[in-house]
Amino acid sequence: MTNRRGANAVEPIRDLEQIQQIKEYLLHRSYRDYFLFVFGINSGLRISDILPLRVMDVKYTKHLKVREKKTGNARKTIITDTLRNEIEKYTKRYADSDYLFPSKKGGAPISRIQAWHIIHQAAKACRVEGAIGTHTLRKTFGYHFYQKTKDVAMLQYIFGHSSPSITLRYIGINDDMVDEALESFSL
């Protein structure tokens, strides 16, 4: 697929089978890394807002509340049943004050670069094509939310975008629609 947004733009993972393969790959390697992936694709948060979270931020609440690093905006989003179940299993072994994604070096969460390596390596091992990075998690959430609901206005609100066209471009729907239209076109 041609990427019309530039060489550095990452893509959502569109194929549900590939998402499952990555989950299984990560689960066999590291429960923390598996949870990072699951958390990212089910929350729609940016990696910069995920990594500093502590157990107490997610364990005893129905909503994730963060102040977005990029925008400075307060954001509140419900914790889905799927994510709630994963949080309950994952946090059993951690104290409330522990980071959700602790570095093996201790005392701090993993870095954005470490998160990128985790996601990128898993995608490579599972032969996921396209540019994959930490932002892939958020885009994957958005892509599948849109495919399930077709509610671009709600997704625009969730992401804090200024227009529906930005949201569709962000999750790669515009690229999909252009590719589909061009594949069926001939003179």
Question: Which among 14, 32, 34, 46 is annotated as catalytic?
Answer: 46
Active site residue 138: yes
In the numeric block, which tokens belong to residue 47? 């990696």
Contact (Cβ atoms closer than 8 angstroms) between residue 87 and residue 36: no
The question of whether 161 is a catalytic residue gets the answer yes
Is residue 135 part of the annotated active site? The answer reads yes
Q: Are 104 and 112 in contact (CB under 8 A)?
A: no
CA distances from 96 to 12, 54, 65 (A): 32, 7, 16
Kindly name the residue from 14, 54, 75, 138 that is annotated as catalytic.
138
* From 62, 70, 105, 127, the catalytic residue: 70
Spot the catalytic one: 135, 139, 143, 146: 135
**Any residues with CB less than 8 A from the CB of 155 and at least 6 apart, and which?**
142, 145, 146, 149, 167, 171
In sequence order, which residues have a C-beta less than 8 Å from that of residue 54 and are 6 or more positions away? 96, 97, 98, 99, 100
The pair of structure tokens assigned to 105 is: 């070096």
Per the annotation, the verdict on 170 as an active-site residue is: yes
Q: Assess whether 67 carries a catalytic annotation.
A: no
Q: What distance in Å separates the CA atoms of residue 174 and residue 180, rounded to the nearest whole number?
A: 10
Q: How far apart are CA 86 and CA 53, in angstroms?
A: 15
Active site residues: 46, 70, 135, 138, 161, 170
